[in-house]
Amino acid sequence: MKRVYLDNAATTPLDAAVIAEMTNVMENYFGNPSAIHALGREVRTLVEKARKTVANLLGASPSEIFFTSGGTEADNTAIRCGISAYGIKHAITSKIEHHAVEQTLNIMLKNGEIDKLSFVNIDEKGNVDYAHLEELLQQNERTFVSLMHANNELGTLTDMVKVGDICEKYNAIYHADTVQTMGHYTHNVRELKAHFIVCAAHKLHGPKGVGFLYVNSNVKIPPMIYGGAQERNMRGGTENVYGIVGLAKALEIAYAEMEQHQNQIQSLKDYLKNALIAEIPGIAFNGETDADKSLYTVLNVSFPEMDMADMLLFNLDINGICASGGSACSSGSNIGSHVLNGINADPNRPSVRFSFSKFTTKEELDYVIEKVKMVVKQNALA
């Protein structure tokens, strides 16, 4: 059976060049990077080379890059350790953040680690109300702000420069969840004014189980994981050397090919969007879809009410189409998407997130369009 993968916001297939780079390390470099002998020093060199590669791409210093197990750990470290280091008691976020942010802050509130958690207003497309953000900052003492660059379910973009300027004005600590946009847009940390940004390698054709946290050199935070002096005393545990090397290679490729892939993938997204509008009456979209306001790899489709709406993803799957009903981290949940709830989406309309990569083809989308038409027609309300 033909299978089309359109769930790249959940994870992406490994790039062949990344596999080759990692395989070379697996086969030829096995030393512990903390060891002082020659084999250990060889591996330490690989880790530091990767760190320098990442830093150069971001306009950062290598000393500002800390490798982690992925985006969730990076988000948790930024939030927990950033708030703890500065004794901050007030945090601002939105109701459509990834669970790595939303749940962490709610648990900190519940445990008394912060006294107040405010939610910035967002509109029906998922856009941040910047005036309200400034109003919340005016009303409180030093604050921790955590807002994602692009929503992982909707694709709606937040202006990181604008948020950074507002946070700087009120001396707030700014954490930007950049998991979905790392490798898809340039992130020059000297222009962004973010104190923390994050990466998960598997979102940009790198390996799972590895990511990084950028910590601005003006910010000093304690470790979240103790038990060793790795990552310059910031994260205990032997480094995932293969993953770190793969991450750096994946990010290097992403930056080298970025403009080409932006144009390629945006055209595919527009093609699917326009075809669905033409073929399915009553189709709509969750979040922004204009190129300057939306992550070009994500299209969240709101389908008309239908019979067996909860079986839509299953019906697509049995026709070989891999997509998602929301964040992959909520797969199997029966409480619905907190993101769609957060923008007051119509609960009677089933939604599907189609997400694209550089490996997606127009021919695959033609297949998807035909199968989607068939499934919708079969389940149309009488």
DSSP 333: -
Task: Pull the structure tokens for residue 221.
Answer: 């935070």
Do residues 96 and 151 touch, judged by C-beta distance below 8 A?
yes
Rounded to the nearest 5°, which phi and psi values hold at 296?
-70, -10
- Residues designated as active site: 329
Cα separations in angstroms, 20 against 50, 105, 202: 15, 39, 16
DSSP state of 298: E
CB 302 within 8 A of CB 351: yes
Residue 13's closest CA among 160, 292, 263, 203?
203
DSSP state of 309: G
Q: Which two tokens stand for residue 99?
A: 């669970």
> How many angstroms separate the CA atoms of 97 and 75, rounded?
11
